[in-house]
């Protein structure tokens, strides 16, 4: 899926502080705008209502629903065993025993390959998610991942590389700054000035282009929390689809 002719695929991280109705509304808008996936962080120990996940997955279509469970590995494994067909991101730096337990809970190596995305560089999974404190660190992580994928004959189609980052875009730098300041929780996902897409549209496009040139196949965004989320989603979409990205797309392939 994804937006045709987009420089990078777009994904979205939902906010846990939003109620299910708002999460569903945002997921629906993202799906309609061509986002490839929406991701919901969950507490594996507390669990999550399977019916609520089904409703959220339905709202997000045609985008896929992904879940990012947190908690001890044994809790994540118990949760994963009943997670159905949603995409899942598992924690980084798993030891062999933890990885085997999570793979078994997911349904074996085939399911791991189809559904499980990892923050660790696991070439047997469905994809790699880069979490980095700066854009420069993300570029280095992407370069390592691109080389590793090339060495095993992989491609973006079977092993996508996605950068998870905060986003605060405005029509001007002042508007982008104001949005970030109105949402202090955004910094929990990294300083958008250093680690995310930040500034006016042209600046955010250049930052996204640099990530694409470094090897990113997708961007998973945590947006500044604003009432007019449709505007924010559309602004981010224009970062990946539009004259500037399309003009440079050939250089990134």
Average pLDDT, the chain: 91
| Residue 178 pLDDT level (bands cut at 50, 70, 90) | very high
State the Cα–Cα distance between residues 235 and 168, nearest whole angstrom: 10
CATH architecture of 9-252: Alpha-Beta Barrel (3.20)
* Inter-residue contact 82 to 93 (CB < 8 Å): no
Q: How confident is the model at residue 250 (pLDDT cuts 50, 70, 90)?
A: very low
Q: What does the pLDDT look like over 210-245, one tens digit per residue?
A: 999 999 999 999 999 998 999 999 999 999 885 555
Averaged pLDDT for residues 10-15: 97
- The structure's pTM equals 0.91
151-160 average pLDDT score: 95
Domain range summary for the chain, segments of one domain joined by +: 9-252
- Residue whose C-alpha is closest to residue 50's, from 84, 25, 9: 84
Q: What is the pLDDT of residue 51?
A: 87
Q: Is 11 helix (H, G, I), strand (E, B) or coil?
A: strand
**Tell me: the pLDDT tens digits for 93-134?**
788 999 999 999 999 999 999 999 999 999 999 999 999 999
């Amino acid at each position: 899926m994804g937006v045709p002719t987009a420089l990078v695929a777009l994904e979205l991280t939902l906010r846990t502080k939003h109620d299910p109705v708002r999460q569903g509304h945002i997921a629906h808008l993202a799906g309609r705008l061509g986002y490839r996936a929406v991701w919901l962080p969950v507490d594996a120990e507390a669990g999550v209502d399977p019916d609520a996940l089904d409703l959220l997955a339905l709202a997000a279509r045609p985008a896929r629903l992904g879940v990012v469970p947190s908690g001890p590995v044994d809790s994540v494994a118990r949760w994963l065993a009943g997670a159905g067909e949603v995409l899942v991101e598992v924690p980084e730096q798993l030891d062999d025993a933890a990885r085997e337990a999570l793979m078994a809970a997911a349904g074996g190596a085939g399911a791991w390959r189809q559904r499980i995305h990892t923050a660790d560089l696991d070439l047997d999974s469905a994809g790699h998610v880069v979490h980095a404190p700066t854009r420069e660190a993300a570029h280095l992580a992407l370069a390592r991942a691109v080389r590793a994928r090339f060495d095993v004959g992989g491609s973006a189609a079977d092993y996508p590389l996605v950068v998870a980052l905060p986003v605060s875009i405005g029509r001007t730098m002042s508007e982008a700054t104001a949005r970030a300041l109105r949402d202090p929780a955004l910094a929990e996902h990294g300083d958008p000035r250093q680690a995310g897409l930040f500034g006016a549209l042209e600046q955010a496009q250049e930052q996204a282009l640099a990530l694409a040139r470094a090897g990113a196949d997708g961007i998973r965004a945590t947006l500044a929390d604003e009432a007019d989320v449709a505007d924010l989603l559309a602004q981010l979409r224009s970062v990946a689809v539009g004259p500037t990205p399309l003009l440079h797309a050939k250089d990134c392939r």
